[in-house]
């Protein structure tokens, strides 16, 4: 068997009691249910947390009643070639001009690095302008990911970007950590759990080096 020596980058934040969630959402907690001891051969914990904790995949039902749960969506958008686009210091929204330098021969998955150091805080973060998502939808994109808690601003009530994702049947990853990832093309692996009634799922998101040498894109 041939050994695969391609480099792997973990782009998932830690999931523990310090993981930030939307204000009022369930925070992470963990309790020992079975304890290793005479008569009990294992440790087993009970976990309680929002499915939007850490790196996660939103399901269409998160923003549309009657839409599919995360366990019912096709897995193919979460696995395959992707491009990491650097758009740091772009302000509150990623606008089309912030990604123009990276649009040539775009693969089906796009991840935005908006911050030099990723944060899950809802206090201040960069979201995506609806015009940017509309542009990506014309390029046969299957998935969009971002290193912030949401593609829409924290104060948004109509969630225009989420609604565009629904309209174009695109998948979404949020709360990624892209701090150490050069701009360029990779293989994305970020499969959600088969949660049959859930509006999201945690993922262990990783990037893997492509078979060919990585293409490092020109910085803006």
3-state class (DSSP) for residue 58: strand
Per the residue annotation, which of 62, 86, 98, 162 is the catalytic one? 62
**DSSP letter string over 70-139?**
GGGS-SGGGEEEEEEEE-TT--SEE-GGGTGGG-TT--SEEEEE--SS----SSS--EE-HHHHHHHHTT
Q: Known catalytic residue: 62?
A: yes
Calculate the CA dihedral of residues 3, 9, 15, 18 and round it to 10 degrees: 150
Give the residues across from 8 on adjacent strands: 208
Residue 108 CB neighbour total at 10 angstroms:
17
Q: For the purposes of burial, counting CB atoms within 10 Å of the CB of 174, is it exposed (0-12), middle (13-18) or buried (19 or more)?
A: buried
Percent of the chain that is helix, strand, coil (3-state, to 5): 15, 25, 60
User: How far is Cα 210 from Cα 161, in angstroms, rounded to an integer?
Assistant: 30
Q: Catalytic amino acids?
A: 62
């Amino acid at each position: 068997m041939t050994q695969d020596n391609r480099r792997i980058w973990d782009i998932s934040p830690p999931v523990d009691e310090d993981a930030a969630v939307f204000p009022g959402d369930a925070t992470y907690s963990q309790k020992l249910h079975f304890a290793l001891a005479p008569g009990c051969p294992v440790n087993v914990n009970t976990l309680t947390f929002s499915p939007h904790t850490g790196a996660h995949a939103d399901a269409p039902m998160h923003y549309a009643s009657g839409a599919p749960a995360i366990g019912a969506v096709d897995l193919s958008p979460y696995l395959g070639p992707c491009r990491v686009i650097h758009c740091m210091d772009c302000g509150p929204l990623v606008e089309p001009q912030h990604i123009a330098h990276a649009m040539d021969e775009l693969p089906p998955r796009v991840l935005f690095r908006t911050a030099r150091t990723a944060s899950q805080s809802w206090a201040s973060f960069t979201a995506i302008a609806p015009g940017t998502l509309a542009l990506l939808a014309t390029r046969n994109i299957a998935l969009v990911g971002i290193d912030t808690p949401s593609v829409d601003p924290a104060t948004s009530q109509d969630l225009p970007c989420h609604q565009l994702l629904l309209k174009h049947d695109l998948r979404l990853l949020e709360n990624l950590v892209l701090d150490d990832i050069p701009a360029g093309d990779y293989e994305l692996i970020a499969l959600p759990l088969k949660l049959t009634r859930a509006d999201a799922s945690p993922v262990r998101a990783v990037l893997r080096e492509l078979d060919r040498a990585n293409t490092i894109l020109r910085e803006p």
